[in-house]
Amino acid sequence: MPREKPQTGGEVLEKPKEKTKRPEMFKVVLLNDDYTTMEFVVLVLQQVFNKPEPEAYRIMMKVHVEGRGVCGAYTYEIAETKVSTVHEMAEENGFPLRATIEEG
Ligand code: TYC
């Protein structure tokens, strides 16, 4: 049996594909309106987005002044649940507060 030629130049130059993908994140964005009270928005940010009171107040004021503000970034399913919870709480309390999901 002839000996096999030494294998040269066969280095794998491509980086192997990562097996575990990082989950895509989605931002939950809160929208301003003229009727929801500031106090209620702060409460929502504390209860739904687990923000400490000073940060909840800061985010609420940002939304009030700029029209929108990011509450956090989550996997799609969690972001969807947070948006639903915001809308349910708002409806129960007679406020038109809205939140949306944004990719990235
Ligand atoms: N603009 C509202 C007001 O003046 C307060 C407010 C803030 C409402 C943030 C919604 O997402 C909101 N009462």
CATH number at residue 59: 3.30.1390.10
Domain that holds residue 63: 34-69+77-97
Q: Is residue 24 part of a domain?
A: no
User: Quick one: pLDDT at residue 56?
Assistant: 98
Domain count, the chain: 1
Sign for the pseudo-dihedral over CA of 58, 62, 68, 74: negative
Tokens of 81: 């649940």
- Residues 6-24 as b/e (b if ≥16 CB within 10 A, e otherwise) read eeeeeeeeeeeeeeeeeee
Question: Tens digit of pLDDT for each residue in 85-100?
Answer: 999 999 999 999 999 9
Ligand 1 centroid to Cα of residue 71, in Å, is 14
- Answer yes or no: is 55 within a domain: yes
Whether 65 shows a pLDDT value over 70: the answer reads yes
Which mutation among 44, 64, 82 tests ligand 1's pocket best, with the greatest number of atoms within 8 A of CB?
64
Ligand 1 binding pocket (C-beta < 6 A) is 30-34, 36-38, 41, 60, 63-64, 97
pLDDT band at 21 (very low <50, low <70, confident <90, very high): confident
Nearest atom, ligand 1, residue 97 CA: 10
Query: Which residue has 């708002």 as its token pair?
Result: 90
In a domain, 65, yes or no: yes
For 42, left (φ over 0), alpha (ψ -120 to 50), or beta?
Answer: alpha
- pLDDT of residue 8 exceeding 70, the answer is no
